[in-house]
Structure 1
Amino acid sequence: MLDGGLALLSAAECALEGARFAERASLPALVGVAFGLLAGSALVLRRRRPVAVVLVSIAITPAGMGFLMGIVGLYTLAASEASRRVIAALAGMSLLGTLIVTFVRTRQDVATADFDPGSWYVPVVSVVMSIGLTAPPLLLGLYVGARRRLMESLRERAISLEQELSLLADRAEQRAQWARTEERTRIAREMHDVVAHRVSLMVVHAAALQAVALKDPQKAARNAALVGDMGRQALTELREMLGVLRSGEEVVARATAEPVPLAAVGAAAAAAAEAAEAAEAAEVVEVVEGAVAGAAVAGEGPSLADLGSLVEQSRLAGMAVELSVQGEPRAYRPDVEQTAFRVVQEALTNVHKHAPGARAWVRVAHRAAEVAMQVENGPSLRGAADAGLPSGGNGLVGMRERVSALGGVFVSGPTDGGGFRMSAVLPTGSPTESPAVLPTESPAGSQAGSQAESPAG
């Protein structure tokens, strides 16, 4: 509607000026009016063809027509996406044409006037009028075009930031889901480590208690006391673990539920995407390791110093276990101590479950940059039968996860002698040293099973 209205005004102006031009040129007035209507109506194409509109206005300028078309055409051209060279060239042509026409008409008017304004009057008036008809629409169009491009750039940036915010929100949801999954896995692993060993020993002692209850009441009483002690130990460890998990839940809740200001997220997305990703990765590590690190810093949980008690409990349950230690024992990081203890504990639990009556050997080697554990058992004295204890099949998986999380190596497999061997090597953070193979002074079958043992070394 705006373009149509401007085209009607331009056509009316050009038709009026065309009639005057036809009169001066001794042409029929109808020819001038028709030419003016046709030329003035070209302004309707100003948005699609701004260059053509400006050229038409320049072409009809000598006839004294198209002043409105020239003003609107220059404004539209300057505000369009045309190149600066084209805009400058057409603006110069329009200025020159307007200057010439204004100079001629002003000179004619001065010649017919009754007074003489001086020689300076015609050039000054011509220059002022030509600049006044050309510069304002040109400058206004340049300003509007620049502002339009700025707004478009801001709109595109807002859309880009919105997409970045959406991606960051999706990534945050993925990180939260991953943290929850890791937390569930850790809880399951801790429950398995704490409960499985104690309960397995309690079941073994309960079976022995049932067997000797009538024959040897004193031995039955001792077994009953052992069952009670193990139950209390299991409850104590469960309480400690639940306390750690509660503190871990607070860490996860803070990391996954704290609201993030949109302005901060937008700034990070626009200015420092790589830094934001690095911060997100660090936050994920903090969330997943927070609860476990809390227990480690507090010094809670078992350690390598408790291996003697662990082995003694298995001996009291009827297992023949030998413990050998190489190197000088020393204190390690709490997470290394706990992982080493849990590996030996799970290995002995598996012997109770799947090889009742078998002889077992526990070896620990303290080295300069690592600590190595190996638990090996011979064939079960009861053949293929086990102790009838349930197994979820997650023991070896949990041990491998624990060892791999600390950058260690875990290897397990059967021996040629019909037994089973589990080996683990944990780095301790000391200066690196070429790892050596675990000691192999084992019963029959250990030499044949050295291939399964060497990767752990």
Structure 2
Amino acid sequence: MGLALLSALECAAEGAWFADETATPVPLGVLFGLIAGSVLVLRRRWPVAVVLVSVAVTPAEMGYLLGLVGLYTLAASDVPRRIIGTLAGMALTATFIVSFVRVGQDVRASDLADPGDWYVPLMAGFVAVGVVLPSVLFGLYIGARRRLMESLRERADSLEQELLLLADRAEQRAQWARTEERTRIAREMHDVVAHRVSLMVVHAAALQAVAPKDPQKAVKNAALVGDMGRQALTELREMLGVLRTGDGERRTGAPVPLASVGAAAAAAAARGGAAGGGAGPCIADVEDLVGQSRQTGMVVELAVQGDPREYAPEVEQTAYRVVQEALTNVHKHAAGAKVTIRLAHRDAEVAMQVENCAPGQPDPTSPALPSGGNGLLGMRERVLALGGVFVSGPTDTGGFRVSAVLPAG
């Protein structure tokens, strides 16, 4: 608004001078100048109209500020370049013509020697270029810079949206990882402890039944219960120790591998039930599982096909867990049933099958073992994680069969 007012005053003064030169009423010239200069207020909305008005009043030698600001605004706007070039050429031509006439008049009116034919067009060209070109070039620079800043701002907004999306996805992945970790820990706790606790309950029931009749056997069963209880407590302490250590390391910013809990649980189970005392349970330790179940009075047959060999640690542990959990389920749901375990060592895989016969009439003195319903689910998750095949279900004779095939690699 300030530039429009200044332009109106300039055009009014130049209109008064033009009216005096052309013998026109001065108020009319002033009014014409005010109207022409006030057009600058429309420069942001209609820059083309402002430039056209400035070109139109150029012969009256008015509207210099109107032309300068109008050309700058036009060049800085989003008007197509061909229109900018056309209007700038028109302003340049009009200014050149007016300057050519005015310089020619000044040369003829002066008493100096004739400067030559080149002087007038050269001076007129200098004036036209000096009036028009700086405004156009500066406007083009400001327009390009403005568009660049808008592009950078849009890019920054887009990057901010992408970062927010990535943050949401990272939070979802973290939540998924926490859920997977809780599931993994629950599965390890179930696999490591449930088997021993189930055997402890069975031995405790047997102890209660034989104590009045056979004190020596009762003492033997009591010793077995104590040993299994101590083993279960040791495994629990080791797993809880891993969890506490992991929690402390998380507070200090050091990540804890998810497999550490599973590794500790596996090592605990191996120390408690493996004869070899290796770094984790393996297929060779299945014989110890069979022996523990036989001590409870269960009839268990173990058949091995092929030449036993070493497999990857995760394959060994998964095979062990499948057999262990299958035996635990027999203790819970089919106490007294005969069990057949088959292990097959093949070229590219190892297969295992645990099948129990139909359970007989339940013994009223046998304990009722609780079931969480996660045994088969945990076995399936372990086997499928290694790319194996897991099948479970009832048999035609009323028993139950668990089969798994693991790749040897």
Distance 1:318 1:80 in 2: 94
Matched-pair contact (CA < 8 Å) for 2:282–2:316: yes
Greater CA drift, 162-171 or 408-417: 162-171
2:275 corresponds to which residue?
none
Matched-pair contact (CA < 8 Å) for 2:267–2:280: no
Greater CA drift, 417-426 or 164-173: 164-173
1:223 corresponds to which residue?
221
Length, aligned pairs only: 398
Unmatched 5+ stretches in structure 2: 269-277
Unmatched 5+ stretches in structure 1: 259-282, 430-457
> What is the deviation of 1:249?
5.2
- State the AA in 2 paired with 1:388: A
- State the AA in 1 paired with 2:93: L
Greater CA drift, 136-145 or 286-295: 286-295
Distance 2:267 2:212 in 1: 49
Distance 1:95 1:291 in 2: 82
> What is the deviation of 1:236?
3.3
Matched, 1:301 2:298: no
- 1:151-170 alignment, distance < 5 Å: 151-170=149-168
Matched, 1:346 2:325: yes
> What is the deviation of 1:116?
3.1
1:267 corresponds to which residue?
none
- State the AA in 2 paired with 1:67: Y
1:238 corresponds to which residue?
236
> What is the deviation of 1:240?
4.2
- State the AA in 2 paired with 1:228: G
1:182 corresponds to which residue?
180
TM-score normalised by L of structure 2: 0.91
1:415 corresponds to which residue?
395
The verdict on how the C-alpha distance between 1:390 and 1:154 changes in structure 2, with shifts beyond 3 A counting, is: same
| 1:309 alignment partner, SS class | helix
- 1:366-405 alignment, distance < 5 Å: 366-383=345-362, 387-405=367-385
1:214-263 deviation per Cα after TM superposition (whole angstroms, max 9, x unaligned): 10011111111111221222233334434554566578778xx57xxxxx
Distance 1:195 1:56 in 2: 93
Distance 1:69 1:422 in 2: 93
Root-mean-square deviation (Å): 2.4
Distance 2:101 2:127 in 1: 12
Distance 1:293 1:91 in 2: 79
1:27 corresponds to which residue?
24
Distance 1:294 1:93 in 2: 86
1:112 corresponds to which residue?
109
1:318 corresponds to which residue?
297
- 1:73-92 alignment, distance < 5 Å: 73-92=70-89
> What is the deviation of 1:164?
2.2
The verdict on how the C-alpha distance between 1:142 and 1:191 changes in structure 2, with shifts beyond 3 A counting, is: same
The verdict on how the C-alpha distance between 1:208 and 1:296 changes in structure 2, with shifts beyond 3 A counting, is: closer
1:36 corresponds to which residue?
33
The verdict on how the C-alpha distance between 1:361 and 1:332 changes in structure 2, with shifts beyond 3 A counting, is: same
The verdict on how the C-alpha distance between 1:417 and 1:383 changes in structure 2, with shifts beyond 3 A counting, is: farther
2:133 corresponds to which residue?
135
- State the AA in 2 paired with 1:211: A
- State the AA in 2 paired with 1:71: L
Matched-pair contact (CA < 8 Å) for 1:296–1:334: no
The verdict on how the C-alpha distance between 1:322 and 1:250 changes in structure 2, with shifts beyond 3 A counting, is: farther
Distance 1:301 1:243 in 2: 17
Matched-pair contact (CA < 8 Å) for 1:301–1:338: yes
Distance 1:93 1:427 in 2: 84
1:362 corresponds to which residue?
341
Matched-pair contact (CA < 8 Å) for 1:404–1:410: yes
> What is the deviation of 1:363?
0.8
Distance 1:230 1:294 in 2: 18
Matched-pair contact (CA < 8 Å) for 2:263–2:280: no
Matched-pair contact (CA < 8 Å) for 1:304–1:341: yes
The verdict on how the C-alpha distance between 1:300 and 1:388 changes in structure 2, with shifts beyond 3 A counting, is: same
The verdict on how the C-alpha distance between 1:190 and 1:61 changes in structure 2, with shifts beyond 3 A counting, is: same
- State the AA in 2 paired with 1:300: A
